[in-house]
Amino acid sequence: MSEQKCTDLPSGWGSERWIVAGRVQGVGFRYHALLSAHRLGIFGDVRNHPDGRVEVRAQGPTDRLAGFLASVRSGPPGARVDSVESSELQHGMRFDTFTIRH
């Protein structure tokens, strides 16, 4: 299980939810996010939405989250990111890995 209930994240960590719009399905976007998250030590998950957007939930040190967001904004070859809506992830949620959610 990658998602757990908890009260606090470590000091210096952030927890964010991004909704990514553009040409982000059918181009390896979720796999790109997975590899970037593992490389940067980010926890969370990524999944396709029925409307063609992709949802990313991410937790980790704030400096690494910034790098992960840059990777999400660039996407893999063949992707086109038009916008990223950002919001804080609900409190009390903690991930222990990064996965592709189906």
Q: What angle do CA 96, 2, 86 make, to 5 degrees?
A: 85
39 is catalytic: no
pLDDT of 1 reads 44
DSSP state of 18: E
**Residue of 23, 30, 39, 101 marked catalytic:** 30
Segment 26-70, tens digit of pLDDT: 999 999 999 999 999 999 999 999 999 999 999 999 999 999 999
**Residue of 17, 23, 47, 48 marked catalytic:** 48
Residue with tokens 């903690």: 94
Q: Domain limits of the chain?
A: 3-100
Q: Check if CATH label 3.30.70.100 holds for domain 3-100.
A: yes
CB 40 within 8 Å of CB 98: no
pLDDT of 8 reads 78
53 is catalytic: no
Handedness of CA 27, 75, 88, 39 (dihedral sign): positive
